[in-house]
A and B are shown apart, each in its own frame.
Chain A
Amino acid sequence: MKIGFLVNPVAGMGGKVALKGTDGEDILRRAIVLGAVPTANSRAETSLAVFREAASDNQFYAPAGEMGGRLLSESGLNYEIVLEPSEKTTSYHTKRTVSLMLAAGVEAIVFAGGDGTARDVCSVVGEKVPVIGIPAGVKIHSAVYAKRPKDAGMMVKNLLQGKVKRFVLAEVLDLDEDAFRNNVVRAQLYGYMKVPDDREFMQDRKSGSSFSDDSERLDIAAYVIKNMHKDGIYLIGSGSTTYSIKENLNIEGTLLGVDAVINRVLEGKDMAEEEIRNALSGFEKSKRHLVITVIGGQGYIFGRGNQQLSPEVLRMIPKENITVIANSSKMSDLFGRSLIADTGDTLLDEELKGYIPVITGFGKKIMAKIG
């Protein structure tokens, strides 16, 4: 197998010195001044130790030095250098590396970094080949990352041993670091990448068939579409679960934006906040609906990747007309935790607290707490 291996050597440096991230050269300089030391390579090394043995017959592709080449050479694996980065590595080097890896025909990419790195990788690879993310950054909001470096290593090992049976789409999210430093959380959904579905143990069942995520998404979409009221406006938020509704309505909606649907016809695409408010105001309140999904592994329903749905927008829609949908596996991952509404308006966040049914299948809902 041909595997791309990439480390963002500066990922994670801002964390210990409370800089909330390391995106951009100025911040990196400040981090170094504050005494930050690189940690990404040691995290990647932990991961590599788990899959090294299983990887001996495979061909790796990596940038030289601290961006991956050094670790591979120390581990004695077969590798080819695709890029000689300059001493100060930047987001350009990540993107360039990924496109060279794809040109070399890699079948999977293993990378260590944070949300910024995931964004860079995603911008080039998209859903072309599967990826495995080793968490090494300050911000890890993206679901493309394994829980810990060891888990990422285990995933690579399973992949190499042909044990990965299917892949799922996982979100790439990133916060706006400048805003975050001023205690304003502004996250955006940048896209999806394919990651191994590591829930293999769930396949050992007593009876019946558990649906794959794909057919479950279809079930959810069918149920939402079946229950759509005539002459109402439906805002459909970002995410792969909500996208399934757009697909099954046969409309050209967006994966990452908020679209509006009236009588099953697309009436607004990737709408900005103001557009949304204008569209809503044409309908009486009870006819305004919103369908959203839970973003990423942390349970956010508002405030991550859907800032178009501003407090003003949300106040225009009756709470009972807000439909939350999510795959049951996503809800299982959130077990024991609340959903989070972080609209940017604390009063509204308070009002939204309580219980909300989350649709997880055809006619199937789970009561979730918004905490």
Chain B
Amino acid sequence: MDSLTRMKRFHQARWNEPIIYELSEPGQRSVLVPGACCDSFSKEEVLGTIPNGMVREDLANLPEIAQLQLVRHYSHLSQENIGVDGNIDIGQGTCTMKYSPKVNERLAGTVKLLHMHPLQPENTAQGVLEIMYKTGELFKSISGLDVFSVQPGGGSHGVLALASIVRAYWRDKGEEQKRDEVITTLFSHPADAAVPIVKGYKVTIIQPDAEGYPDIEAFKAALSERTAAIFFTNPEDTGIFNVRIKEFTKLAHEKGVLCCYDQANANGLLGITRTAEADFDMSFFNLHKTFSAPHGCGGPATGMVAAKKELRPYMPVPLVEYCPEKGYYLDFDLPKSCGKIKSFWGVIPVVLKAYSWIMTLGADGLREVSRVAILNNNYCIKKILAIKGASMSFPHHTSRIEQARYSWEKLKEDTGFGTADIQRCIADFGTHYWSSHEPFVIPEPFTIEPSESYSKTDIDDYCAVLAEISRMCYEDPEAVKHAPSNSTVHHIDHDYFDDPAKYSITWRSYNKKYKGYFEPK
């Protein structure tokens, strides 16, 4: 079968599914909890042990629903979803969508792990602590660094951990007030600029030169005694690997500046080059994405921090350590620590999945992952550049690592249709496409990242869809205008996502904003 005959046609499910709270019926239960038996305490006795001020007077507002109705509700929702398991998910560039082996899901779902409590004594949690510790040991080889923390719950959270370490370091050196600037690059992940600002730093962004590399002259001009740290993503979101990266870290180190490497997406680097070789002092890795654990729809995930041993005193507490007498234990004894980044110790199921994935592949396997990801990407570039109306950012810089940012500028010029139109159309083909995040400097952008999970056939099929939509734009504009014709929503008004007065992420906040829950309107 060729890719045209294989082309998927898809009709999205649509249920007028209410919010679970609206399905709530007083008295309904999914699970009937057994009553107290003879030697247990009564409710009153237990509540009697809690200080009066802490006992709530009203019941928690939880939905009440029977099991079948509950299962039906979530089944409907799952039918309205799309994910790696259901489509060729290479259109979400920079996110490294890859297959998460089901065996690892089973491991993470075992009762041994499910029933762990973060506050149980260390000597009863040796297995989990060992996995956390040994994941760090594996990252000694992967990153070339020495100390690790799996505490951050995501990539941007990893940036926050690095920025917190930077602040703790300069506080210890007595230069916290003076060193108040951070430098990043335009095509680093936007969190590398946004998060240090949250941490109170002034952030200066370096734009790329004509080749697509960060402009080193601009970097020299930005660097000063006020610089606390640099935050660089490499390869950048254009898919270009900054081959001059050591020149940047050398210049920074000459001014005493800490160097932070955003390795959230290390999918093209495993076994090929490391944080240590680029002379960075610390970095973070997303155990979701590169190391196969699912993203969890924006978390919980893990942005694993790695740092040189000199920075150990400033790491988030606790660190997982081992000594023959105590076994594995949590070390809180870091008086200069940046503190805690997250409650408890980390998102353990994600760590377990990543650990299992790395152990399954081994060192050669990891290198193969990156080699295949790079090969897939360069094959994909060739296919996409053959599509009418498509081009690549920084066209003179032809070699890319694991992803590439493209442009529909020509298509827009010729047909009036741009990246948002492609995005609408693609829903009818049962797949997904992302129009890229900031910086918004590449006209009509899109970013494709065919990680190692996808076969040549998958890539052919996805590119065939893009080619078909391009053809529609040129030859059948009416069809494009009305697309998606088999989906549930034609156009989403983004104003709701931008306006804090309008969006609600919980039922409570929805009631508050729309129904005057707290102050009846």
* A-B pairs under 8 A by CB, number: 90
- Is B217 a contact of A366 with CB atoms below 8 Å? no
- Is B498 a contact of A204 with CB atoms below 8 Å? no
Q: Does B201 contact A (CB under 8 A)?
A: yes
Q: Does B438 contact A (CB under 8 A)?
A: yes
CB contacts (< 8 Å) of A355 on chain B: these are: 217-218, 221-222
- Is B441 a contact of A365 with CB atoms below 8 Å? no
- Is A201 a contact of B437 with CB atoms below 8 Å? no
CB distance from A339 to the nearest CB of B (A): 12
Interchain CB contact (< 8 A) of A357 among B222, B434, B494: B222
Q: Does B193 contact A (CB under 8 A)?
A: yes
Q: Which of A327-371 contact B (CB under 8 A)?
A: 328-329, 332, 335-336, 354-355, 357, 361-369
Q: Per-residue 0/1 for B297-329: is the Cβ within 8 Å of any A Cβ (1 yes, 0 no)?
A: 010000000000000000000000000000000
- Is B497 a contact of A209 with CB atoms below 8 Å? yes
- Is A363 a contact of B434 with CB atoms below 8 Å? no
Q: Does B204 contact A (CB under 8 A)?
A: yes
- Is A203 a contact of B197 with CB atoms below 8 Å? no
Interchain CB contact (< 8 A) of B419 among A201, A212, A365: A201
Interchain CB contact (< 8 A) of A368 among B207, B298, B434, B435: B207
- Is A367 a contact of B201 with CB atoms below 8 Å? no
The CA-CA distance from A332 to B202 in the complex, in Å, is: 20
The CA-CA distance from A336 to B418 in the complex, in Å, is: 21
The CA-CA distance from A357 to B206 in the complex, in Å, is: 9
On whether A329 and B205 interact (CB within 8 A), knowing A204-B494, A355-B222, the answer reads no
Q: Does B416 contact A (CB under 8 A)?
A: yes
CB distance from B516 to the nearest CB of A (A): 24
Q: Does B465 contact A (CB under 8 A)?
A: no
The CA-CA distance from A97 to B494 in the complex, in Å, is: 37
Q: Does A207 contact B (CB under 8 A)?
A: yes
The CA-CA distance from A202 to B419 in the complex, in Å, is: 10
- Is A207 a contact of B206 with CB atoms below 8 Å? no
CB contacts (< 8 Å) of B193 on chain A: these are: 364
CB contacts (< 8 Å) of A335 on chain B: these are: 207, 439, 441
On whether A364 and B203 interact (CB within 8 A), knowing A212-B498, A335-B441, the answer reads yes
- Is A200 a contact of B420 with CB atoms below 8 Å? yes
- Is A205 a contact of B437 with CB atoms below 8 Å? yes
The CA-CA distance from A207 to B441 in the complex, in Å, is: 18
CB contacts (< 8 Å) of A207 on chain B: these are: 298, 437
On whether A199 and B440 interact (CB within 8 A), knowing A365-B202, A367-B207, the answer reads yes
Interchain CB contact (< 8 A) of A210 among B94, B186, B438: B438
CB distance from B295 to the nearest CB of A (A): 11
Q: Does A272 contact B (CB under 8 A)?
A: no
The CA-CA distance from A208 to B439 in the complex, in Å, is: 13
CB distance from A85 to the nearest CB of B (A): 33
CB distance from A363 to the nearest CB of B (A): 4
Residue of A nearest to B438 (CB): A210
- Is A201 a contact of B416 with CB atoms below 8 Å? no
Task: Give the one of A203, A204, A208 with max B CB within 10 A.
Answer: A204
CB distance from A144 to the nearest CB of B (A): 20
Residue of A nearest to B217 (CB): A355
- Is B441 a contact of A332 with CB atoms below 8 Å? yes
Q: Does B444 contact A (CB under 8 A)?
A: yes
CB distance from A90 to the nearest CB of B (A): 35
Q: Per-residue 0/1 for A137-167: is the Cβ within 8 Å of any B Cβ (1 yes, 0 no)?
A: 0000000000000100010000000000100
CB distance from B303 to the nearest CB of A (A): 14
The CA-CA distance from A324 to B508 in the complex, in Å, is: 43
Q: Which of B146-190 contact A (CB under 8 A)?
A: 186, 190
Interface of A is mostly: mixed
CB contacts (< 8 Å) of A204 on chain B: these are: 419-420, 423, 434-435, 494
Q: Per-residue 0/1 for B88-126: is the Cβ within 8 Å of any A Cβ (1 yes, 0 no)?
A: 000010110000000000000000000000000000000
The CA-CA distance from A328 to B186 in the complex, in Å, is: 11
Q: Does B495 contact A (CB under 8 A)?
A: yes
Q: Does A50 contact B (CB under 8 A)?
A: yes
Q: Does B277 contact A (CB under 8 A)?
A: no
CB contacts (< 8 Å) of B137 on chain A: these are: none
Q: Does B215 contact A (CB under 8 A)?
A: yes
Interchain CB contact (< 8 A) of A367 among B190, B222, B439, B441: B222
The CA-CA distance from A366 to B210 in the complex, in Å, is: 17
Q: Does A230 contact B (CB under 8 A)?
A: no
- Is A206 a contact of B197 with CB atoms below 8 Å? no
- Is A363 a contact of B207 with CB atoms below 8 Å? no
Task: Give the one of B193, B207, B298, B497 with max A CB within 10 A.
Answer: B207
- Is A201 a contact of B435 with CB atoms below 8 Å? yes
- Is A366 a contact of B437 with CB atoms below 8 Å? no
Q: Which of A14-67 contact B (CB under 8 A)?
A: 50
- Is B420 a contact of A201 with CB atoms below 8 Å? yes
CB distance from A38 to the nearest CB of B (A): 26
The CA-CA distance from A207 to B94 in the complex, in Å, is: 12
CB distance from B216 to the nearest CB of A (A): 11
CB distance from A297 to the nearest CB of B (A): 14
On whether A201 and B498 interact (CB within 8 A), knowing A364-B203, A365-B204, the answer reads no
Q: Which of B431-466 contact A (CB under 8 A)?
A: 434-441, 444-445
- Is B204 a contact of A367 with CB atoms below 8 Å? yes
On whether A206 and B221 interact (CB within 8 A), knowing A335-B441, A367-B207, the answer reads no
The CA-CA distance from A160 to B501 in the complex, in Å, is: 28
Task: Give the one of A202, A212, A328, A362 with max B CB within 10 A.
Answer: A202
CB distance from B210 to the nearest CB of A (A): 8
Q: Per-residue 0/1 for A194-225: is the Cβ within 8 Å of any B Cβ (1 yes, 0 no)?
A: 00000111111111111010000000000000
CB contacts (< 8 Å) of B205 on chain A: these are: 364-367
- Is B197 a contact of A210 with CB atoms below 8 Å? no
CB contacts (< 8 Å) of A366 on chain B: these are: 186, 204-205, 207
Interchain CB contact (< 8 A) of A165 among B438, B439, B495: B495
The CA-CA distance from A154 to B444 in the complex, in Å, is: 15
Q: Per-residue 0/1 for B199-234: is the Cβ within 8 Å of any A Cβ (1 yes, 0 no)?
A: 001111111001000010111011000000000000
On whether A362 and B221 interact (CB within 8 A), knowing A207-B298, A210-B498, the answer reads no
The CA-CA distance from A209 to B437 in the complex, in Å, is: 11
CB contacts (< 8 Å) of B186 on chain A: these are: 366
CB contacts (< 8 Å) of A332 on chain B: these are: 439-441
Q: Which of B408-427 contact A (CB under 8 A)?
A: 416, 418-420, 423
Residue of B nearest to A335 (CB): B441
The CA-CA distance from A336 to B201 in the complex, in Å, is: 26
CB contacts (< 8 Å) of B498 on chain A: these are: 203, 209-210, 212
A residues in contact (CB < 8 Å) with B: 50, 150, 154, 165, 199-210, 212, 328-329, 332, 335-336, 354-355, 357, 361-369
State the 5 A-B residue pairs at the shortest beta-carbon distance, nearest first.
A335-B441, A355-B221, A203-B494, A367-B218, A204-B435
Contacts A364-B205, A367-B204, A369-B215 aside, 8 further interface pairs with beta carbons under 8 A come to: A154-B416, A204-B435, A207-B437, A210-B498, A332-B440, A357-B204, A367-B222, A368-B207
8 interchain pairs, CB-CB under 8 A: A204-B420, A206-B434, A332-B441, A335-B207, A364-B202, A364-B205, A365-B204, A367-B205
